[in-house]
Chain A
Amino acid sequence: MEMTKTNGFTIGETLYIEQLSMICNIEREMGSGTQGKVYSLICPDNSTLVLKWYFPSMATKEQREIINYLIQTKPPSDRFLWPIALVESPKREGFGYVMPLKENRFKSFSSWLSRKVDPSFRILLTACFELAQNFHLMHSKGLCYQDLSLNNIYFDPHNGEIRIGDTDNIVINGSGKGNVLGTPKFMAPEIIVGKESPNTQTDLYSLAVLLFYILFLNHPLEGKAESSIRSLDIPSMTKLYGFNPVFIFDPEDDSNFPDPIYHRNALIYWNIYPEFFKKQFIKSFTKGINDPLEGRVRETEWQIALLELRDSIFYCKLCGSENFLDPYLVGALSLGNVDAYSNKSQNEMKSAVLCELNRSVKNHIPTCWNHNCKTANHKVMYIQLNGRSIVTLNHDTQLFLHHVDPSCKYNFSYIIAEVNRHPRNDQVWGLKNLSDFNWNVTKPNSDSIKVLPKQSVLIAPNTTIDFGKSIGTIYYLDEMITYAYN
C-alpha cells in the first residue's frame, strides 16, 4: 500500500533548526509559490521567523549551495529578507531555509497598482529611491537578483521604506547558477529571445520596468500594440516584450503610443513629471532595449534622478496636490549659472536673463494637475545648494545631511534643517537649525549673522546660508527677478 505523501508541514509540528540550535513550531502556512511553500515559525522566545520549504523538484543540490552561500554572505542591507539558516527535517523530503518575517506594515506594490493603498508622490519616490539604492548595494557586491518583479518587493505606504523578498534566487553575477529566468513582463528582451541568461544588466532592465509601473501605473511597453491584441497568449507576449519591444513614449516611433482608455494612467502621469526625469525612461526603453551594456540607466543615475524629483515637489496653493518643478530649468536660470551671458554688457545680460526667466517661470511652474483645480501662477520658494541642486521649501521640508555634506550623500538619518512657522506670527516662515553647528547667514546689503542650533532664520529671497560644507541660497520663483537684479 502506498502512503499518501504530502510535502507540506502540519500546524504545530516542531522543527529543529540546527544552525540556530533552536526548536521552532510551525504556526501556519503563509502561501505557496512556484518554488515551494512558506510557513511562519514560532521561536522559543515567541518571536516569529519565516520558513520556505522547497517542492521536491526545486530542492536541488545547486539551490542548497546558493542558500549556503547567501547565509555566509552578509545581506547588502537590512532591506533584504535574507536567508538566516538552512533547515532539514528527518520527516520531510528536501530542505528549506529560514528568514526574517516581513512586518504587516509592508504591502505589495500590487496593492498600489490596484489602488488599495493611497501613498503620496513623496512616498512612492522614496520607495523607488530605496529600490535603486538597495539593488545598487547588492550589485556592488557582485550579486545579481535574477527575478525582480512586482511580486517580490514590498513597501510601507506610510513612509516608503521597502523590503526585498525572494532573495533565494540571488547568485554571483555570471555564475550561471539558479533555476529562474525571470517573471514575464519584467524579463529583459534579450532573455525572452533566448540570447542571455539573467545577469546584472537584465536586472537593470527589470528595475526600470518596475519603476515605470510604480510611477506611471502602466507597463512601459503596453500601448496600442498591446490593446490591439485580443488574446494575450505566449506568442503575442514574446513579440510584444521580446522581439519587437517599442516604448509607449518612444519619441521616434509612435506605433505603440498609449490607448486613451486602456492606458489612461500612462498619459496622465507622463504630463505630470518633468522632462529631465522622463528622459531616464526614454533612455531605458529605447537605447536600453537594444544596448544592454551601455544603454541602460545605472542605479546611481536613478538614485540621483529620483531624489532630485523628490526635492522638486511643491504643493498646489489651492488644493494641496503635489506638483513638480523642473529643477534643471529652474536651476540653470538662477543666479549662480548666468555665465552664458557674461561676455555681454551688463544691461544686455540683465535683459536677456529677465526675458529668459519670464519665459521659464511662465512655462515651467506647472499648472496643478488636479482636474478640479488646475491652479496656475504658483509661487515657489526654493533653496539652491552650492549653485547646483535645488530643494523646494514647503511647509514640511526637511534638509538632511545628504543635502549639505557632499561626503554624506544619501544619508537621511540626520535632519539638518526644517521649515517652521514663527512662534508668534503664522505668516512668517523660517528655516530652523537642527544641526549641531552654527550657520553663517548673509543677506543682500547687510552684515552676516550667526544662526545657532535650534534657532531659525527667516526664509527670504537671496538669503545665503553657509552650512559648513555647503552653501545654500534661497530664491523665490516669481519675484526672483526683482530681488536678483535691483
Chain B
Amino acid sequence: MTLPGGEISKRELHFIWIVDCSGSMRDDGKIQSLNYAIREAIPHMQRESENNIQADLLISALKFSTGAQWIIPPTQAKNFKWTDIEAKGHTDLGQALVLLSEVLHVPPMTERGLPPVLVLLSDGQPTDDYEGGLEKLLREPWGKKAIRISIAIGEDANMNVLEKFIADNERSPLLARNPEALSNYIRWVSTVVQSASARPKSQQKDYESLGSNVDIPQPPESISSAADVW
C-alpha cells in the first residue's frame, strides 16, 4: 500500500542560457565548441537536478546576434534538449537583456521561486545599447536577485561588459581561453551553480556569505595554457 501524499514541494529554479551567436563566433570553431560543451553538460545537469529536492529546474535559452530571440522555452531538466545554434550577424546584447527583463517578473515567473541563474556567453563587443538593457534587467526584482554568471569565449571578449552584467565586485567573468576551459566552465555552471541557488550542499567555514544573495562556490581552477587554440 503506497503511503499518502506526494512528492515534496519544490521551488521553481529558472536557468537561462544567454548565448552570443554573432558572426565572430564562427571563427576558430567557437560556436561548434559551445554547442558541444552544452551538449556534454546536459546529462550532468539532469543528474544534479534529479537529486535536488529543493528545486524544480527549468532551463531556457536566448540567443543574440542581429536582434535577440528565445530559442528554447522553459523546459524541465529531464526533457531538455539543446538546439545547435549558428553564428551570424551583430552582437545585440542590449536587446537580449531587454527580452530577459520581460520574463523576469511575476507572471510569468512564479510567486514562489529560487533566485534564477543567468549565464551569459559572449566573445565580443556589444553593438547596441547594452547599458540600457542591463539597467532594465536590474530593475526587475528577479533580475537583481538572479545569480548572474558570464563566460568570455576567447581573449577578444569585452571583459568590462561581462563584469557589468555580473554587477558584483566579489566575482569576475570567467575567461575561457580554449575549448577545454569552456567545457569545464559550462559544466560547472550547469551543475554547481544550479545547486547553489537551492543551497542543498554543505557549507564550508571559510565561506563569506554575509551580504550576498546566493553563495557561489569557487569555479574550477582556471586552466591557463599557452597552447590556446583560439
* Chain A interface residues toward B at CB < 8 A: 1-5, 7, 32-35, 56-57, 108, 110, 113-115, 118-121, 124, 147, 149-151, 166, 169, 178-185, 187, 197, 213, 217-218, 227, 229-235, 237, 261-265, 268-269, 272, 319-322, 369-371
Smallest CB-CB A-B distances: 10 pairs: A265-B5, A184-B199, A1-B226, A113-B8, A181-B203, A268-B5, A321-B1, A262-B9, A233-B213, A115-B7
Distance of A246 Cα from B42 Cα, bound (Å): 39
How many residues on B have C-beta within 8 angstroms of the other chain's C-beta atoms? 48
Contact A263 B9, CB 8 Å, known A180-B202, A184-B200, A370-B1: yes
Kindly identify which residue among B6, B115, B199 contacts A115, using a CB–CB cutoff of 8 Å: B6
Say yes or no: is B39 at the interface (Cβ < 8 Å to chain A). Answer: no
- 5 further A-B pairs in the complex, CB-CB below 8 A; given A147-B202, A217-B6, A232-B112: A184-B199, A217-B7, A218-B8, A234-B214, A235-B213
Between B53, B115, B200, B209, the greatest number of chain A beta carbons within 10 A of the residue's beta carbon is seen for B53
Say yes or no: is B160 at the interface (Cβ < 8 Å to chain A). Answer: no
What residue of chain B has the Cβ atom nearest to residue A371's Cβ?
B4
What residue of chain A has the Cβ atom nearest to residue B111's Cβ?
A230
Kindly identify which residue among B2, B5, B206 contacts A264, using a CB–CB cutoff of 8 Å: B5
Q: Decide if B202 touches A182 in the complex (CB within 8 Å).
A: yes
Residues of A close to B213: CB separation below 8 A:
233-235
Contact A269 B4, CB 8 Å, known A1-B226, A231-B145: yes
Instruction: Give the shortest distance, in Å, between B49 (CB) and chain A (any CB).
Output: 11
Say yes or no: is B136 at the interface (Cβ < 8 Å to chain A). Answer: no
Distance of A479 Cα from B104 Cα, bound (Å): 64
Instruction: Give the shortest distance, in Å, between A106 (CB) and chain B (any CB).
Output: 14
Instruction: Give the shortest distance, in Å, between A482 (CB) and chain B (any CB).
Output: 31
Distance of A419 Cα from B63 Cα, bound (Å): 67
Contact A180 B205, CB 8 Å, known A110-B53, A230-B112: yes
What residue of chain B has the Cβ atom nearest to residue A147's Cβ?
B202
Kindly identify which residue among B4, B191, B212, B227 contacts A272, using a CB–CB cutoff of 8 Å: B4
Q: Decide if B207 touches A181 in the complex (CB within 8 Å).
A: yes
Distance of A218 Cα from B53 Cα, bound (Å): 11
Residues of A close to B204: CB separation below 8 A:
34, 179-181
A interface, over-half SS: loop
Say yes or no: is B85 at the interface (Cβ < 8 Å to chain A). Answer: no
Contact A320 B1, CB 8 Å, known A1-B227, A233-B145: yes
Number of A-B residue pairs at CB separation under 8 A: 142
Distance of A201 Cα from B5 Cα, bound (Å): 31
Q: Decide if B112 touches A4 in the complex (CB within 8 Å).
A: no
What residue of chain B has the Cβ atom nearest to residue A262's Cβ?
B9
9-residue interface stretch from B23-31, B90-98, B119-127, B215-223: B215-223
Between A110, A180, A230, A231, the greatest number of chain B beta carbons within 10 A of the residue's beta carbon is seen for A231
Residues of B close to A231: CB separation below 8 A:
113-115, 141-142, 145
Distance of A292 Cα from B167 Cα, bound (Å): 40
Residues of A close to B114: CB separation below 8 A:
231-233
Residues of B close to A232: CB separation below 8 A:
11, 112-115
**15 A-B contacts, Cβ less than 8 Å apart?**
A1-B226, A2-B224, A2-B225, A3-B225, A56-B221, A110-B51, A120-B1, A182-B202, A183-B202, A231-B141, A232-B112, A233-B213, A265-B5, A265-B6, A319-B1
Residues of B close to A7: CB separation below 8 A:
221
What residue of chain A has the Cβ atom nearest to residue B206's Cβ?
A179
Q: Decide if A234 touches B202 in the complex (CB within 8 Å).
A: no
Instruction: Give the shortest distance, in Å, between B179 (CB) and chain A (any CB).
Output: 12
What residue of chain B has the Cβ atom nearest to residue A119's Cβ?
B3
Say yes or no: is B103 at the interface (Cβ < 8 Å to chain A). Answer: no
Kindly identify which residue among A151, A235, A264, A319 contacts B201, using a CB–CB cutoff of 8 Å: A151
Kindly identify which residue among A178, A227, A265, A319 contacts B8, using a CB–CB cutoff of 8 Å: A265
Residues of B close to A237: CB separation below 8 A:
199
Instruction: Give the shortest distance, in Å, between B228 (CB) and chain A (any CB).
Output: 11
Instruction: Give the shortest distance, in Å, between A138 (CB) and chain B (any CB).
Output: 18
Q: Decide if A4 touches B225 in the complex (CB within 8 Å).
A: yes
Distance of A21 Cα from B3 Cα, bound (Å): 49
Between B3, B115, B142, the greatest number of chain A beta carbons within 10 A of the residue's beta carbon is seen for B3
Distance of A175 Cα from B224 Cα, bound (Å): 39
